[in-house]
Amino acid sequence: MYKACCFVYVILFLVDRIPPVVSGDGDQIVTIPLGSGGTSVAWIEPTASDNSGIVTLDSRSHSPGQFFPPGTTTVTYNFIDPSGNTVTYEFDVIVIEGKLDLLLFNNIG
């Protein structure tokens, strides 16, 4: 008499679809003297966390301490986790040229 035997294997692959979470200080506003042409701006870089425990900085458009001309420049950071989930964090570096102080003289005479 023959006996049949059967094995069933179940392999589960958990798929992580949750992107990393980023925290940062937001916009950086710097005032410079009129006519200076720009300045170096430093900031604390944003950080990211993820449910996997591993997050990598994939790219950034600018680095702390870089030179910025007057006006608004958007800085972008991209983070990625081991499952390929990404998150983008953006903030503006705003360089404002100060105003010339007007001195008013009264003509005494």
**pLDDT tens, N- to C-terminus, the chain (109 residues):** 677 777 888 887 788 999 999 999 999 999 999 999 999 999 999 999 999 999 999 999 999 999 999 999 999 999 999 999 999 999 999 999 987 554 444 445 5
**11 close to 38: Cβ distance less than 8 angstroms:** no
CATH no., domain 21-97: 2.60.40.10
Rounded-to-integer distance, Cα 33 and Cα 24, Å: 27
Count CA atoms within 13 Å of residue 104 on its CB side: 1
The pTM score is 0.80
Rounded-to-integer distance, Cα 46 and Cα 55, Å: 12
- List the chain domain ranges: 21-97
